[in-house]
Amino acid sequence: MHSMIPLLLAAVLLIAPPAQAAADAVSAAAGLPLARAASMAWAPDATLIYVENDEALEPDGTSSRWGYLFASKSLDALRVYSIERGEIEIAEDLSLRFPAPPLPEDWIDSQAAVRAAEVHSGAAFRQESGARLRTACLLRGALRADQPDPAHWLVVYEASGAPGLFLLVDARRGEVTRTWRG
């Protein structure tokens, strides 16, 4: 039996998916201090208006890379920073218009938002349809652009051959405020 252990271990290592992606995964808040510091060097009036996972979203609401979009009124410009492993991987100006109000300072992190989505209906949807988490993005104006509402996390589940599940999670209270399929 002891001679089988190396063979079983080798088989597990060949079959098991690499754990590196999950090991590098962090919550959305982890990269914010670096992104905010870089944005202040770009424009002292820069405000955070959007956050989204830039790589695969792990089941616990973490990702190996997060994107942070900042707006500057004085420059009339947008700049995005993509943070991975504590380093800025991308820093570039965007030429598009994205008239979004600034995000509040006190928002729940991506892990809490995904937990709320899972408890509400995400876990059941994953079990029924084989869906996976696709996106978690933090924004304002998700319900009505003409009346900016409180900040929300949009948590998206993707299912093969079935409409996805979208959940809006209030970014201060951590409560699901709206769901839809599409």
Report the length, in residues, of the chain.
182
H or E element in which residue 141 lies = none
- Mean pLDDT for the chain overall: 87
Is the pLDDT score of 139 beyond 50? yes
On the 0-12 / 13-18 / 19+ scale of CB atoms within 10 A, 70 is: buried
* pLDDT tens digits for range 4-48: 333 222 222 233 333 344 689 999 999 999 999 999 999 999 999
Instruction: Write down the pTM of the prediction.
Output: 0.85
pLDDT at 98: 78
d(CA 136, CA 51): 8
**Torsion sign over Cα 127, 132, 137, 141:** negative
pLDDT at position 156 over 60: yes
Angstrom CA distances, 8 to 17, 20, 28, 34, 88, stand at 15, 21, 37, 43, 40
Ramachandran category for residue 132: left, alpha or beta (phi over 0 → left; psi -120 to 50 → alpha):
beta
Out of 9-23, 66-80, 123-137, least confident range: 9-23
Break the chain into its structural domains and give their ranges: 22-181
DSSP 3-state of 14 = helix
Q: 16: helix, coil or strand? A: coil
Q: Tell me how many degrees the CA angle 166-47-59 measures, rounded to the nearest 5.
A: 30
**Each residue of 83-115: pLDDT tens digit?**
999 999 999 999 988 778 999 999 999 999 999
